[in-house]
Structure 1
Amino acid sequence: MPVQPAVPGRSAAGRRAGRSVLGLALAGLTAVLLTGCSAQEASCGGGEYPVLAVGSTGSACVPDGEEPPAGYARYPEGKVPEHVGDKWDEYWSTRTLDENGNIIKAPEAG
């Protein structure tokens, strides 16, 4: 290990602590880059799936294995948002389902 020059007011323990914090930060950044993790927020938590409010752009999360509550429906296959802000989340911000399951333009808010 290279010898660091003495810095007034900074002990050897302080220099080691500074290197430890830097090392942890670099290790965390490396892990994120290597695993491909993103900062995107999931639409629902583990063990849940998203459902769409019929007639509006509202949504909710339902536990896997349960049916959507009254007034909600499953998203059409292949058009399910997985993350906040993904293409399907954006798509459903202006569309919804009618009572027959047809995709329609969402009513204007207000």
Structure 2
Amino acid sequence: MHLPRRMNRAATAFRPERVRIIVAALASGAAVLALTGCAGFEYKEDICSSGEYPVLAVGDTGSACVSDKEDPPAGFVRYPEGKVPQQVDDTWDVYWDTHTLDKDGNIIDIPDAG
């Protein structure tokens, strides 16, 4: 009785067809990863760099970043506690696009902003 060539090989023998399938599967997985990129991972840019804090222009929607070692420059104040934007387009960053502080520290709407 003649056995097919496959049956004569040891179980651990090198099998080119399996290698091709594994390589194809790995290549497909890599392609999917490359095409989807980091879907599900969202990058958020910080408002200020490390060692800085954001300040708001009085009477305007302008803002700036100031060194932790310095006071706000003339015409700027610290954001109210708990209402400080941390990342670009976070809740407070968007809020302060249409609001500001008056000279007395009261929050006011900026009707022409946004």
TM-score when normalising by structure 2: 0.64
Q: CA RMSD in A?
A: 2.9
Q: Distance between the aligned counterparts of 2:58 and 2:67, measured in 1?
A: 18
Q: Given the alignment, which residue of 92, 98, 105 partners 1:94?
A: 98
Letter in 1 for 2:108: I
Which of the pair has more CA radius of gyration?
2
Identity level (%): 56
Deviations 1:18-55 (A, max 9, x none): 96xx4xx68x95xx97xxx6411111111111000111
Equivalents in 2 of 1:46, 1:54: separation in Å? 24
1:108 paired residue number: 112
Contact 1:50-1:61 at 8 Å conserved across structures = yes
Matched residue, 1:3: 19
Q: How many residues align?
A: 90
Which residue is equivalent to 1:49?
Answer: 53
Aligned to 2:104, the other structure's residue is in SS state: coil
Contact 1:56 1:107 in 2 (8 A): no
Structure 1 counterpart of 2:44, from 23, 40, 43:
40
Larger mean CA deviation between 99-108 and 51-60 belongs to: 99-108
Q: Which runs of 5+ in 2 are unaligned?
A: 1-17
Instruction: Give the C-alpha shift of residue 106 in structure 1.
Output: 1.8
Structure 1's consecutive aligned runs of 4 or more residues displaced over 2 angstroms after TM superposition are 2-5
2:80 maps to 76
Q: 1:4-19 alignment to 2 at 5 Å?
A: 4=20
Query: Shift in Å at residue 94 of structure 1?
Result: 0.8
Three-state SS of the structure 2 residue aligned to 1:51 is strand
